[in-house]
A and B are shown apart, each in its own frame.
Chain A
Amino acid sequence: MTRGVRSAGRATPPAVPFGLSGKGLMVSMPNSSLRAGAAKVDITPAPGTHLGGTWGTLRGGEVVLERIYARALVLEQDGHRLCLVAPDLEIVTAPWARQVREGVHAACGITPDNVMVAFPQIHSVPPVGNFLIDDALPNIPPEHEYLRGSQTAYCEFAVKAMIEAAVAAFRQLRPVRVAVERAVRDDLAFNRRGVRRDGGITMPWFYPGLQQPLGPTDIACLEGPVDPEVGLLALKDTTDRFVAAVLHFSCHPVNVYATVPHAISSDWPGTWAAGVEHLLGDGCVGLVANGCCGNLNPWPAFMPDFVPDHRRMGRELTRTVTAMIPGLRFAESTGLASAVRHVPLPIKQADTKDRAWAETLLRDHPAPQWQKQNPRQAEWDWMDAAMLMSVELERERHPDYDYEIQAFRVGPAALIGLPGEPFVEAQLAIKQASPAALNLVAHGANDYAGYIAPRASYARGGHEIREKPAKWTKLAPGALETLVDQTVQTVGELYR
């Protein structure tokens, strides 16, 4: 079902922007210049706030490696307004994203469908929303609310800050010109699904060469590709100052999570954004659209003694942006448009035996059970049962997940928001079919839908596709193919 396409501009002869070869760019020339404003608000959590990326235990933040921010960009042309909110968060679930979108609507008059809340899935910051255990599952005491995924106090704080950032951006609207550029590099993100010699899937980890002199010999090969693209959408005002830079790369932000579990850090998206803000001058806001990286990690499978380092990664990406700057050709925006499409995606049904097992376990132990040897860690079985029943409850409410595809057109660039963690294959297919000169795909937009893998990957299993459903692995095979098809159509509408 399609909710609709809104676009700015009147029907005038088509133009080919930026000397590109068209690629179906039938655009309406706008009446006015594009205006843009950008801002950021500090959302660094208080000490002890639960950090996402794990389950069943409180992972309180103890040291701050970088401040984390909610960044926002507001765009306006011919009365049509769009807003991108890019917080340095792990997750924002739909109820909280809705609050942000409605709050921005109330404050700035931007319709909620035109507000995209895209979280980069940083694993060293708090989540906003319960993405593990369903709110309808009872018996989790308030002091252990983090077992559901998040802490309400921080969620409320972050939502308020995200709206503040959008409002601040809105207040700074001023005429801008736009430029896009692309680069490629393959040394910063790596496919993380190792096909084992027994046919199963394992997730490669970094390793010391001394302890594994022959390397991880159980891995026969890697299952899939990476996306080497580094994308940049730059906005400059009439005084030649950069207003904002929307940055695109695709990789799990887990450098810090993997090495300093209790540190608060914005990982590579934050260090990249900060590096670009420094590079492009005071006042420029760098917003990272982290692409479809459900199967991408920042370490290679077969390279001994690799040490994940978010600062190095951010620096390298900034270096790539530096190389892009001389080639930027700023021009008037050829139009601002947006489209939203809601696609029903079937939710996996738990195996009957698994469900019976979960129901029995939760009936016998309705409250969280804790490991004897580690009383701060919930029993794995109890968590598994609670997570399974959470999906079952969700499926019983709605057998289909309402997957929202959101696409903005900003002149030659398409900003595409996809909930959850689609595998990179989806993004590559979307880019290949898109008529836009630059596609900035933001996974984790507006809701957490869990991993979304290609059909071919389901047979192999692995972390992202385990048999027992959980909210992070709940969609039935075929979801990725459907969302690709629907996204291609949605983006196509913007360039019709």
Chain B
Amino acid sequence: MMRAGAGRSDITPAQGTHLSGDGMGIHRPARSVFDSLYARALVVESGERRICLLTLDLLCVTLEYTQRIREAAARQFGFKQEAILVHSAQNHSSPSLGNLMLDPDFPFQPEPDKEYIGGAEKAYGEMAVTRSLEAIAQACGCLRPVQMGWGRAVVEGLAFNRRAIRTDGAIGMPWFYRGADQPLGPTGIRCIEGPFDPEVGVVAFRGDDMRLAALLLHFSCHPVNVYATDKYAVSGDWPGAWSAAMRESFPDRPESLVLNGCCGNLNPWPAFTPDFVPDHRRMGGALAERSRRVVERLAFTPTDTLDWRMRCVPLDYRDVPDVRRQEADRVLRDHPSLKWDAARNEVDVNWFLAASTKSIEYCRKRWPRFPYEIQVFRIGDAAIVGLPGEPFVEGQLAIKVQSPAACVQVAHMSTQYVGYMPTREACARGGHEANDSCTYWAKLAPDSLDVVVDNVKAMIKELFA
């Protein structure tokens, strides 16, 4: 008999905490709170096997923090470490759990007030780890027999491919715009490069008493509605709004964990619709409306199938062109510690980008091939896939199509931040996610996504054989 329990803990940052997700080292101290942030945990147990899914309303989690959480949870609650999946929603209106912008080996000793340049602040990290373990403890403390159901809906109009092929052949990122300013639309765009994933996925756990114990919700889109409109507000963006709306939708107030899928190239605004206003609550509400319909139609069945696999796949790095490497070296030689732009009162952008490029070299020194961790959990008929970084949606779709698992939910930004994983074709076109500056967030070789997809498919096949 399968047992499940869920818990959550508030991880809303204090005022002034740095909000992560800006690519140029810009300081974004929290000034207001639109929504509280949470760590949510789902624990599922069958016989001797026990798994934990931890979702964080945060931008990212680094390997250092994932390891701390795994070690502590394994020690305190008896999990195997590889049976703990730590997923951050990539919410751009929240702090980060660990430095994602520069490699941990990059020699950078900032003043305390400049700590944010690395991407995160330790004080917040300590609080978030403690609270995350509290959420897991809650989940472990309320395990009860459950049946499981899964379903899906499809929706469009909430996530959009954000790679626009411009008329000059380059890649641009569409932004929302005023119709009065651009009456003919963004005519510099020839077409959109790729697809989106319309799937709204639901896995539900229901007790023998008919009470909903927990929901796993899946959709795929950058959570940047609030970031794009108020850079200093704390918010759970659409994952938080969706989770809150689902919790309030049912009398048992089930804990609702959102698994944000591969959305490296998806944004929540359309390229060609004038006067579109990003709104995380509207988006969360629309997803809740769809997923409620799914829950209302679910058929629950008992299951005791619980299993997992973890693989570490070596990935190659991009080759940083000599010209770029020399340029980065020159900037860092002239300013080995930090170059400050006094006029902007921010870190100098060129220095920051040079440090970002140089970070690839440090990463490569540590790991000649990048050890990419893939996790796949099997819970009944559902496959839950944890992938680090920001794979493009094409990878997720390739995993889902013709999958032996009836239900597949992919959680990107799991375990650690590795940057974008574009398709080969996208790498050739460039753009923010595969930029010529060779930044730390665009460090993996063009074949990486294909390698990861092949491995995930093999792991699912093994679990569902």
User: Which residues from chain A sit less than 8 Å from chain B, CB to CB?
Assistant: 181-187, 195-199, 213-217, 219-223, 225-229, 300-303, 320, 323-324, 327, 428, 431-432
Question: What are 20 contact pairs spanning A and B, CB under 8 A?
Answer: A184-B187, A185-B272, A186-B272, A186-B273, A195-B401, A197-B400, A214-B151, A214-B152, A215-B153, A217-B199, A220-B397, A220-B401, A223-B195, A227-B191, A228-B189, A302-B156, A302-B157, A323-B183, A431-B190, A432-B167
B184 & A324 in contact (Cβ 8 Å cutoff):
yes
Number of interface residues of B (CB under 8 A): 38
B199 & A220 in contact (Cβ 8 Å cutoff):
yes
* Cα distance A226–B156 in the bound complex, in angstroms: 15
B270 & A428 in contact (Cβ 8 Å cutoff):
no
CB distance from B461 to the nearest CB of A (A): 15
CB distance from A398 to the nearest CB of B (A): 35
> Which one of B40-48, B289-297, B344-352 is at the interface?
B289-297
- Tell me, yes or no, whether B241 is within 8 Å of chain A by CB: no
Knowing A217-B153, A220-B400 are in contact, say whether A186-B199 is a contact too (CB < 8 A).
no
* Cα distance A225–B184 in the bound complex, in angstroms: 20
A214 & B294 in contact (Cβ 8 Å cutoff):
yes
Q: Which B residues lie within 8 Å of A184 (CB)?
A: 184-187, 189, 272
* Cα distance A309–B217 in the bound complex, in angstroms: 35
A182 & B184 in contact (Cβ 8 Å cutoff):
yes
- Tell me, yes or no, whether B197 is within 8 Å of chain A by CB: yes
B272 & A301 in contact (Cβ 8 Å cutoff):
no
* Cα distance A304–B187 in the bound complex, in angstroms: 29
* Cα distance A196–B199 in the bound complex, in angstroms: 12
- Tell me, yes or no, whether B109 is within 8 Å of chain A by CB: no
- Could you say which of B155, B196, B270, B290 contacts A186, with CB atoms under 8 Å apart? B270
A199 & B402 in contact (Cβ 8 Å cutoff):
yes
4 nearest CB pairs, A to B: A183-B184, A214-B153, A302-B156, A215-B154
Cβ-Cβ contact count across A and B, 8 Å cutoff:
105
* Cα distance A323–B187 in the bound complex, in angstroms: 13
CB distance from A47 to the nearest CB of B (A): 40
A186 & B401 in contact (Cβ 8 Å cutoff):
no
A197 & B155 in contact (Cβ 8 Å cutoff):
no
Identify whether the interface residues of B are mostly helix, strand, loop, or mixed. loop
* Cα distance A428–B187 in the bound complex, in angstroms: 14
User: Which residues from chain B sit less than 8 Å from chain A, CB to CB?
Assistant: 151-157, 165, 167, 169, 183-187, 189-193, 195-199, 270-273, 290, 293-294, 297, 397, 400-403
Using CB atoms, name the residue of chain B closest to A213. B293
A215 & B191 in contact (Cβ 8 Å cutoff):
no
B272 & A327 in contact (Cβ 8 Å cutoff):
no
Q: Which B residues lie within 8 Å of A229 (CB)?
A: 190
Q: Which A residues lie within 8 Å of B190 (CB)?
A: 229, 428, 431-432
B165 & A432 in contact (Cβ 8 Å cutoff):
yes
* Cα distance A323–B181 in the bound complex, in angstroms: 12
CB distance from A492 to the nearest CB of B (A): 16
Q: A184-B185, A197-B400, A225-B191 are in contact. List 7 more A-B contacts (CB 8 A).
A: A182-B187, A183-B185, A184-B184, A186-B272, A198-B401, A214-B154, A222-B195
Report which residue of B183, B271, B293 has the largest number of chain A beta carbons within 10 angstroms of its beta carbon: B183
A301 & B156 in contact (Cβ 8 Å cutoff):
yes
Q: Which B residues lie within 8 Å of A300 (CB)?
A: 156
Knowing A187-B272, A199-B402 are in contact, say whether A226-B195 is a contact too (CB < 8 A).
no
Report which residue of B155, B290, B297, B401 has the largest number of chain A beta carbons within 10 angstroms of its beta carbon: B401
A197 & B186 in contact (Cβ 8 Å cutoff):
no
Q: Which B residues lie within 8 Å of A215 (CB)?
A: 153-155, 198, 290
Using CB atoms, name the residue of chain B closest to A195. B401
CB distance from B430 to the nearest CB of A (A): 15
Q: Which A residues lie within 8 Å of B197 (CB)?
A: 220-221
Q: Which A residues lie within 8 Å of B187 (CB)?
A: 182-184
Using CB atoms, name the residue of chain A closest to B183. A323
B152 & A186 in contact (Cβ 8 Å cutoff):
no
Report which residue of A221, A302, A428 has the largest number of chain B beta carbons within 10 angstroms of its beta carbon: A221
- Could you say which of B183, B198, B270, B273 contacts A219, with CB atoms under 8 Å apart? B198
Q: Which B residues lie within 8 Å of A196 (CB)?
A: 401
B397 & A221 in contact (Cβ 8 Å cutoff):
yes
CB distance from A490 to the nearest CB of B (A): 20
* Cα distance A227–B272 in the bound complex, in angstroms: 11
Using CB atoms, name the residue of chain A closest to B155. A302
CB distance from A359 to the nearest CB of B (A): 36
A185 & B185 in contact (Cβ 8 Å cutoff):
yes
B154 & A428 in contact (Cβ 8 Å cutoff):
no
Using CB atoms, name the residue of chain A closest to B196. A221
CB distance from B444 to the nearest CB of A (A): 23
* Cα distance A116–B184 in the bound complex, in angstroms: 29
A216 & B191 in contact (Cβ 8 Å cutoff):
no
Q: Which A residues lie within 8 Å of B270 (CB)?
A: 186
Knowing A219-B154, A222-B195 are in contact, say whether A199-B165 is a contact too (CB < 8 A).
no
* Cα distance A228–B402 in the bound complex, in angstroms: 31
A186 & B271 in contact (Cβ 8 Å cutoff):
yes
B400 & A302 in contact (Cβ 8 Å cutoff):
no
CB distance from B75 to the nearest CB of A (A): 41
A197 & B154 in contact (Cβ 8 Å cutoff):
no
B191 & A187 in contact (Cβ 8 Å cutoff):
no
Using CB atoms, name the residue of chain B closest to A304. B155
* Cα distance A182–B195 in the bound complex, in angstroms: 24
